[in-house]
Amino acid sequence: MKKLLTLVLAALFIFSLAACSGNTNTDKDTAKDEPKEETTKQTIEVLKIGMIPDQNVADLNRSMESFAEYLAKELDMKVEFVTSMDYAALVTAFERGEIHLAWFGGLTGVQARSLVPEAEAIAQRPIDEKFKSVFIAQKGLNIKSLEDLKGKTFTFGSESSTSGNLMPRYFLMEEGINPDKDFDGAPNYSGSHDKTYKLVETGTFQAGALNISVWDAAVAEGKVDTSKVEVFYTTPEYYDYNWTVNKMDDETKEKIKDVLLNVSGDQEILKLLNTDKFIETNNDNYKAIETVAKELKIIK
């Protein structure tokens, strides 16, 4: 009897140890899971948004700060606008995960999504389905066609700009013009569309290319002197600007997309971007830009 009691107590002791051991492992598993949950929350605790600096920086910053406040209210979360020194800086910040939502041009969007395969283009303006660039020149130079640009001084916008460099360069090459050899000296890169038309207007360069949206707005608002500079060629259509989201959970992504597709008409960002709304888009719409960029060896 005594021996039997001893065996029972021993069995109970072993069972107790096993139970404690099981609880300890569960605690450890829970402890391991908790930081992961916390990390997931931290990635969307503050939604950081950015925009390529393709026009007047003061106007851009003011509009984006206001838009960040609007998004914060609609999404019920903190939103912060982060400025970028240039196009490349925004792409780099996006790759590092420092920007969660970005307004890209067609080319910078392709570059960013090639670096972050999980990223998605989710919204664009109606005009971005059929975007165009314009070639401008000083009046009085008798420049009437792309062929007439040979031997003239010329400025593109940013090197990373779709409408200010990539597509204008492509259409020049389609006409048999090599931008790196056929101009009077190497082409200039102004850095933004508004600087491009000013450089041509002041006579610093004889001709240039920029996006049609910025040009039309500048003319409408009297920011460019059309007695000194004129459009002589408008390109065929192509896809361009878009809102792209970085990798994130589907629920947050869909909330952001829904807000963008329903932005109210009085938002300053709409005026800055010369539109009255955003419409849905997807990565496949920019395959042509990716192809052209690879042909021109701008991206691999």
Which H or E element spans position 280? strand 279-280
**CA-to-CA distance for 154 and 138, rounded, in angstroms?**
11
Res. 43 pLDDT band, cuts 50 70 90: low
Does residue 74 carry a pLDDT above 50?
Answer: yes
b/e burial code for range 208-221 (CB count within 10 A of at least 16 → b): bbbbbbbbebbeee
148-193 pLDDT per residue, tens: 999 999 999 999 999 999 999 999 999 999 999 999 999 999 999 9
Does residue 132 carry a pLDDT above 70?
Answer: yes
Is the distance from CB of 289 to CB of 166 less than 8 angstroms? yes
Does residue 255 carry a pLDDT above 50?
Answer: yes
DSSP secondary-structure letter at 159?
T
- Average pLDDT for residues 43-64, to the nearest whole number? 90
**What is residue 158's predicted lDDT score, i.e. its pLDDT?**
93
* Cβ neighbours of 148 (radius 10 Å): 16
Res. 298 pLDDT band, cuts 50 70 90: confident
**CA-to-CA distance for 32 and 193, rounded, in angstroms?**
51
3-39 pLDDT per residue, tens: 433 433 344 333 333 344 444 343 434 334 444 333 3
Smallest CA-to-CA distance from 258 within 71, 57, 4 is with 71
Angle CA 131–212–268, to nearest 5: 90
- Average pLDDT for residues 261-266, to the nearest whole number? 88
90-124 pLDDT per residue, tens: 999 999 999 999 999 999 999 999 999 999 999 99
Does residue 48 carry a pLDDT above 70?
Answer: yes
The domains located in the chain, with CATH, are 44-129+240-287 (3.40.190.10), 132-234 (3.40.190.10)
Instruction: State the burial class of residue 86 (Cβ atoms within 10 Å of its Cβ: 0-12, 13-18, 19+).
Output: middle
Mean residue pLDDT across the chain = 87
- HEC letters along 175-235: CCCCCCCCCCCCCEECCCHHHHHHHHHCCCCCEEEEEHHHHHHHHHCCCCCCCCEEEEEEC
